[in-house]
Amino acid sequence: MPKKSTQESGLTTRQLSPNKAKASILHALKIKRPIFLWGGPGIGKSEVVHQIAKNIEAKVIDIRLSLWEPTDIKGIPYFNSKENNMVWAQPSELPTSALAKKHKNIVLFLDEMNSAAPSVQAAAYQLILNRKVGTYTLPDNVLIVAAGNREADKGVVYRMPAPLANRFIHLEMKPEFDDWLEWAVNNNIHKDVVGYLTFSKKDLYDFDPKSPSRSFATPRSWSFVSELLSDDLDENTVTDLVSGAVGEGLAVKFMAHRKVASELPNPSEILDGKITEMKSKEISAMYSLTVSLCYELKEANDKKDKKFDTKVDKFLRFMMDNFDTELVVMGIKLALTQYQLPIDPDKVKCFDEFHEKFGKYITAAQSTN
């Protein structure tokens, strides 16, 4: 998929999806080049850094630089009576040599860096430029990643001094639905959230810095929605909470979708072969049901259900009999790519028929990604 660009202050900025950004960051860190990760609020910059740290077996030291003072970086001076001079006590948050020896790598994550006061950024400059400040030196296995919002996001930011900016490799992230979906599946995001956003991908992110709204949709705020959903709450309370997370307009749309989804056939009964027909032809309902079926299959596979292959057969048969081609292709791609279901063609009765009908469409769809 081609990378998009945005126009900010008359300049063209190349943007990367989270997965593309991870690949670039990993390569830069191998040669110990500091990275600055830019992007709008709530798109997952911190999450990307933590995922990378896990991949390279690194401990993350997460520092919100906007909350620091210059002395928090350089340390506090005190009088050494033995040497009759002033020395600096290094900050306890920065990694020591003893800590570095306990870990393969350490990622020093300077979050909200351009929200820090200029004096703090100036203190950080020496640490990033020379890997030392005062009497403190960064251990060799410490890797530096910084992050911040763009000036166009209307947050509290200070323009980064050119000499400091020139020490970083700059990458700008943009939200990407497929990357978010992969993350959502691995982090058990509520199926109603996944179902709605699979149907309405554009609603994953609707941040507008010019809008006066305090609540807006981002990958982060949709994770809040996932946590808020509960069968113990009445509909009005849930609507109020969802509105507080992603805004009133999207809350109304999401709750309407959720109501339709609640009236759908039980996915467990479909996979057991008890239900073979879907009466509702509401397109958003079909999207939501497809996600629910994939959730059920993933759970069956995780539990090593002996009927897994039979359930896959019922899944494919139900889609063939009830959905149009576009939705069938979406469903099997979801099952194979995002949920990584181990579908064995030799153990699924209707697989040959399914492949004969839809194989060419699935191949064509995969080749465009």
Of 145-154, 220-229, 232-241, the range with the lowest mean pLDDT is 145-154
Please give the backbone phi and psi of residue 60, each rounded to the nearest 5 degrees, phi first. -100, 130
Residues 343-366 have pLDDT tens digits of: 999 999 999 999 998 887 666 545
Answer whether 353's CB lies under 8 Å from 319's CB: no
The two tokens of residue 269 are 């009964």
Residues 8-46 have pLDDT tens digits of: 444 457 889 999 999 999 999 999 899 999 998 899 999
Indicate whether 5 pLDDT > 70: no
Q: Rounded to an integer, what distance in angstroms lies between the CA atom of residue 150 and that of residue 308?
A: 47
Overall average pLDDT of the 276-298 stretch: 86
Q: The tokens 């509960």 sit on which residue? A: 230
Beta bridge partners of 111: 64
Residues 161-201 have pLDDT tens digits of: 888 888 899 999 999 998 999 999 889 899 899 989 988 88
- Helical ranges in the chain per DSSP H: 18-30, 45-55, 70-74, 97-100, 118-130, 162-165, 177-186, 191-199, 219-228, 235-246, 248-262, 267-271, 283-302, 308-322, 325-333, 351-367
Q: The tokens 């950004």 sit on which residue? A: 21
Q: Is 171 helix (H, G, I), strand (E, B) or coil?
A: strand
Indicate whether 271 pLDDT > 70: yes
Q: Is 213 helix (H, G, I), strand (E, B) or coil?
A: coil
Beta bridge partners of 87: 78
Residues 294-349 have pLDDT tens digits of: 989 998 998 899 999 999 999 999 999 999 888 898 899 889 888 889 999 999 99
Which pLDDT score, from 0 to 100, does residue 363 have? 67
